Amino acid sequence: MIEKKGLLFDIQSYSVHDGPGCRTICFFSGCPLQCDWCANPEGWTYKQKLMFAKNKCKATKGCTRCINACPYDAIHLSDEQISIDWNLCNNCKTFDCTKACYHEALKICGNWYTSADLMKVLSRDRQYWGEKGGVTFSGGEAFLQKEFLLEILKLCKEKYIHTAIETTAYTDPNTFLQVMDQIDFAFIDVKHMDREKHKKKTGVYNDLILKNIENLSHSSWKGRLVLRMPVIRSFNDTDENIHATVQFMKRLGLFEINILPFHRLGDSKWSQLGKIYPYRKEEATPPEKLNIIQDIFLNNDIACYIGSDTSF
């Protein structure tokens, strides 16, 4: 039997904001959404990617090893600065330039794991989780690697490991409920209640997302669900959208939401992937705006947590 493999672009230990207790977060590669404000654009594709950190590059000191190492002639030197032809680079599968770079300016994003590999990481971290901790599957979107995810979830249940997920819920409804049946805690994003506006900023309509949330609320699932909304100015922070979200939640009997202030932490990652961050000039969400949104939810008997203040 061929052992399944999953592609993860990061694993972070000792997180205390992505589910109960102390947790290990597994970031799965591949995402059906491409949000303009995304903080993890390296997780969009289900393939290993090259990332270039210009601040670590030593081309100004004469280092050009990567240029000779590239088999596609995608790396060039101009005015003592390295530039990359990303159209050529994206065809690469060997990443020879990363092996030639001694300064970690060029690195591969994404590593393949078997279920045994990943369970070794979780077993290593388990001693630090405490009584309530466990593993959180994030991304990207973990549902895009359904078979690998289900295999890991099965092993986690056998080891009595608490499981959580951070998801867009943009997946086939049968797949969604099948996976959620193995999940103890979930953050599900609601970017916008209007389908056209949702598609404009994320690349997909929200129908499937809202349907999966509705199906989950009507199922026999015993886990805990907290909806989550990144607050993006002039997109989803309007009274109209907030009240529409309230009505959606009340109709389904949902009573917890986590609103996240916008930040520009993804800017450097966009740059390292050769992309321009659409929100590079956007300021962080003002606290007073978050408080106004929180009050709307609270006044409708919905618990609303700001940022990392989610009650676990």
Q: How confident is the model at residue 251 (pLDDT cuts 50, 70, 90)?
A: very high
pLDDT tens for 186-229 read 999 999 999 999 999 999 999 999 999 999 999 999 999 999 99
CB-based burial of residue 38 (10 Å sphere; 0-12 exposed, 13-18 middle, 19+ buried)? buried
How much is the average pLDDT of 125-141? Answer: 96
Contact assessment for residue 202 and residue 191, using Cβ atoms and an 8 Å cutoff:
yes
Q: Residue 97: how many CB atoms within 10 A of its CB? A: 27
Q: Mean pLDDT across the stretch 140-145?
A: 98
Q: In whole angstroms, how far apart are CA 95 and each of 66, 198, 228? A: 10, 36, 37
What residue ranges define each of the domains in the chain, with the CATH number in brackets?
5-46+111-306 (3.20.20.70), 52-108 (3.30.70.20)
Residue type present at position 111: N
pLDDT of residue 90: 84
- Tens digit of pLDDT for each residue in 218-246? 999 999 999 999 999 999 999 999 999 99
Q: Token pair for residue 203?
A: 């690349």
What is the pTM (predicted TM-score) of this model?
A: 0.95
pLDDT for 91: 83
Q: pLDDT at position 4, please? A: 86
CB contact at 8 A, 34 and 11: no
Percent of the chain with pLDDT over 70: 99
269's CB contacts (< 8 A; 6+ apart) are 39, 40, 41, 42, 51
Question: Does residue 3 register a pLDDT over 80?
Answer: no
**Looking at residue 53, what is its pLDDT?**
97
Listed residue (71, 119, 65, 112) closest to 95, CA to CA: 71
- The DSSP element (H or E) to which 212 belongs, if any, is helix 207-217
Find the mean pLDDT for residues 3-28.
Answer: 95
Contact present, 14 and 122 (Cβ < 8 Å): no
The mean pLDDT value for 284-305 works out to: 97
Name every residue whose Cβ is closer than 8 Å to that of residue 307 and which is 6 or more positions away in sequence.
Answer: 258, 259, 260, 261, 290
Name residue 59's amino acid.
A
Does the pLDDT at position 75 exceed 70?
yes
Residue 2 has pLDDT above 80, yes or no: no
Q: What is the pLDDT of residue 1?
A: 58
Q: Are 285 and 231 in contact (CB under 8 A)?
A: yes
Residue 34: predicted pLDDT: 97
Peptide bond into 253 cis (omega under 30): no
How many angstroms separate the Cα of 201 from the Cα of each of 105, 211, 270, 302? 31, 19, 16, 26
pLDDT value at 108 more than 90: yes
Segment 7-22 shows an average pLDDT of: 96
pLDDT digits (tens, 9 = 90+) for 257-290: 999 999 998 999 999 999 999 999 999 999 999 9
pLDDT, mean of residues 1-13: 89
